Amino acid sequence: MPTEELQQDAARYMMQTYTRQPLSIVRGRGTKVYDLEGREYLDFVGGIAVNILGHGHPDLVQAIQRQAAQLIHTSNLYYTEPQVKLAQILVEHSFADKVFFCNGGAEANEAAIKLARRYSHDRYGAGRFEIVTMKNSFHGRTMATLTATGQDKVQKGYEPLLQGFSYVAFNNQEELERAVTDKTAAIMLEPIQGEGGVHVADREYLKQVRDLCARKDVLLIFDEVQTGMGRTGSLFAYEQLGVQPDIMTLAKGLGGGVPIGACLAIDSVAKAFSPGSHASTFGGNPLACAAGLAVCHALLDGRILDHARRTGEYFAKGLSDCKARHRVVREVRGLGLLQGIELDMDAKTVVSECLARGILINATGEHVLRFVPPLIISEPEIDRLLETLAQIFSAQAS
């Protein structure tokens, strides 16, 4: 089907919840994707931080094929080996003691919110249910998670929102201290605000947040939906930032492209969930968990994480050099292979110019470009992007 006809049918039959690029992707291999007309594109979006092993990774493909031939789905009324094994590997390589599986990031954050409220209710009774989140954050689009999200544009038109959330400035300890009261159950934040413009939490700030939580007996929730699974150069971002949460959420890269999410917690908190208190029909189904296991095995081999760490540093330096040469670049921010640049021009213009040159990138907001390529991206491919950005910025200045 020609791209134009596909776009027309999409407009006719699908709810218009996305602003899509004029591109129909039909296949992928490694760090490249291909459109209906056979054109090749270098992928620095990676399904928005999802395709961490690239496209068509043989271990992931084989794991999905084997599991699909054996058992795709059965109810969580029964045990399945892929689910238990994936939970085991996540627990053994994190701070956590228990895992709940679901279908994606919003569901994982929904589970974290419910778990925090349930834990606080069991421990302190009614009235201690509020969760403090960060301005400019993004936690999902369910009613609870869009309320947790500290962005008006995400919440607009969905009022009245769920009660029990307040928002403070990111990296501002004084404001956070004032916001925590005897009604606060948890503090929820992203180690790096991805959708909010690629803002990295200060290490000292996170230590102060952890200390505050300990003093007030408040839970600390890390939303690692975007930062987890090797994105920052370690399996989880918290490992580099020197602070352990009580609850952590994962999704995106966990399945390498197959939908799966997870909510991890320490044992004393996880006990707040009991049979019937939370559930997900498709959460942790055998196919998704087989994919998750393949991803974990690939990362824990070490080579991909080492590569992501090195290329992340190389990328950050290249973007900093770009800033030094082009006035249009205001700031470079990020960690590992989650990088962003803030511009003095419309970011969507740069997205379109890169698309025309065969490179896929993403804008988050009006002036920020976000780069979340597969973790297997190479230095020559990074160089190609940097050279393309330099051409676009130079043309803008002339």
pLDDT digits (tens, 9 = 90+) for 173-219: 999 999 999 999 999 999 999 999 999 999 999 999 999 999 999 99
Cα gap 135→155, rounded to integer Å: 13
CATH of the domain at 388: 3.90.1150.10
Exposed / middle / buried, residue 125 (Cβ in 10 Å: 0-12, 13-18, 19+): exposed
The boundaries of the domain holding residue 365 are: 3-56+303-397
Cα gap 29→291, rounded to integer Å: 17
> What's residue 1's pLDDT?
77
- Taking only the tens place, the pLDDT of each residue in 307-316 is 999 999 999 9
Asked whether residue 296 falls in the same domain as residue 307, the answer is: no
| 19 is a domain residue | yes
Asked whether residue 110 falls in the same domain as residue 177, the answer is: yes
**Residue of 223, 236, 246, 315 marked active site:** 223
138 is annotated as an active-site residue: yes
Asked whether residue 249 falls in the same domain as residue 363, the answer is: no
Whether 81 has a pLDDT exceeding 70, the answer reads yes
List the one residue out of 232, 283, 291, 285 whose CA is nearest residue 110: 283
Last residue of a domain, one of 266, 300, 334: 300
Asked whether residue 247 falls in the same domain as residue 309, the answer is: no
| 271 is a domain residue | yes
The stretch 353-375 carries a mean pLDDT of 97
Task: Give percent above pLDDT 70 in the chain.
Answer: 100
Task: Give percent above pLDDT 90 in the chain.
Answer: 96
Whether 169 has a pLDDT exceeding 90, the answer reads yes
| 25 is a domain residue | yes
Residue 255 backbone phi and psi in degrees, to 5: -105, 0
Q: Within a 10 A sphere around the Cβ of 397, how many other Cβ atoms?
A: 9
223 is annotated as an active-site residue: yes
Asked whether residue 260 falls in the same domain as residue 294, the answer is: yes
Whether 365 has a pLDDT exceeding 90, the answer reads no
CATH of the domain at 91: 3.40.640.10
The stretch 352-364 carries a mean pLDDT of 97
**Residue of 100, 138, 222, 273 marked active site:** 138
Last residue of a domain, one of 276, 300, 324: 300
344 is annotated as an active-site residue: no
pTM comes to 0.97
The stretch 47-56 carries a mean pLDDT of 98
User: Band of the pLDDT at 398, cuts 50, 70, 90?
Assistant: low
Asked whether residue 131 falls in the same domain as residue 259, the answer is: yes
Cα gap 70→61, rounded to integer Å: 14
**Residue of 252, 273, 315, 371 marked active site:** 252
Asked whether residue 31 falls in the same domain as residue 119, the answer is: no
Domain count, the chain: 2
Last residue of a domain, one of 300, 324, 357: 300
Residue 263 and residue 233 in contact, taking contact as beta carbons nearer than 8 Å: no
Cα gap 223→106, rounded to integer Å: 10
Asked whether residue 326 falls in the same domain as residue 369, the answer is: yes
Whether 75 has a pLDDT exceeding 70, the answer reads yes
Quote the DSSP letter at residue 159: P
